[in-house]
Amino acid sequence: MWTHDFGGVMQAEVVLLGQLRHPHLVKLIVYCCEDEHRLLVYEFMARGSLEKHLYKRYTTSLSWSTRLKIAIEAAKGLAFLHDAAKTIIYRDFKTSNILLDSDYQAKLSDFGLAKDGPDGDETHVSTRVMGTQGYAAPEYIMTGHLTTKSDVYSFGVVLLELLTRRKVVDKNRPTREQSLVEWARPYFLHDSPRRLDRAIDRNLDGQYSALAAQKAAAMAYRCLSISPKSRPQMSAVVEALEPLLAMDDGVVEPFVYTAPPENK
């Protein structure tokens, strides 16, 4: 990235990535300064953004295990930021900021909006509302009060996207279906696996664990709770999602017909 501008957004990213290293944060390789120009060089993420893989045409549909793996790795990145010696609130967690390397390992990128967490006995950081429509927590939008639970809400939205492959806001759909969170709520809060199945991305073609999908959906809506206090910590999200990778109940294996040998 070569730019004339070195305002607060880019400065925040250089400072943060210069201090932190984690397998699920994109690496800042080089920072160069020449007169008014600044050059930032990041590690190459061969497969681009999660957003591209979910919504762009002519891209191969992500498998169930890959989607879960991406969710877990992104959650680990957030948990690392939240549990750092000085808490960091990411503030812009979304599919376009989750990058994938050649092995589909997920890493968080674009830390320009990241903020230090509250100090001492403070419960939140008050700041101007920024971010992307559909991902921001409702209390942050209404009050400007930012906490780690704001990131947890955004994670819940992305988890819904991974499960459904529907955009967080889609103006091309009927009014009642434009908001992913509101559209998915009746499906994901229902006990019936068959009802949940109607919301799961059809491109998965049944190649997923019904029990794992139910548990992932339940976690998504814990993250999306209206009350920030009811949302889990990201470390708890990681612990809840990791066992789902081993679940293979109900996975429908593709049917392959092998013709019997001809009698000679």
Residue 32 within a domain: no
Q: Please give the pLDDT value at position 160.
A: 97
Residue 96 within a domain: yes
Nearest to 132 by CA among 141, 123, 145: 141
101 annotated active-site? no
Q: Please give the pLDDT value at position 4.
A: 42
Residue 10 within a domain: no
Supply the DSSP symbol for 245: G
Residue 111 within a domain: yes
Q: What's the rounded Cα separation, in Å, for the pair 64 and 249? A: 13
Model's pTM, two decimal places?
Answer: 0.85
Give pLDDT < 50 ranges for the chain: 1-6, 252-259, 264
Of 35, 92, 119, 197, which is the active-site residue? 92
Residue 169: CB atoms within 10 A of its CB come to: 15
Residue 226 within a domain: yes
Number of domains in the chain: 1
Q: Please give the pLDDT value at position 40.
A: 76
Q: What's the rounded Cα separation, in Å, for the pair 3 and 10? A: 10
Residue 205 within a domain: yes
Domain ranges, residue 207: 45-246
Q: What is the CATH number of the domain that holds 78?
A: 1.10.510.10
Q: Please give the pLDDT value at position 227.
A: 96
Residue 21 within a domain: no
Residue 4 within a domain: no
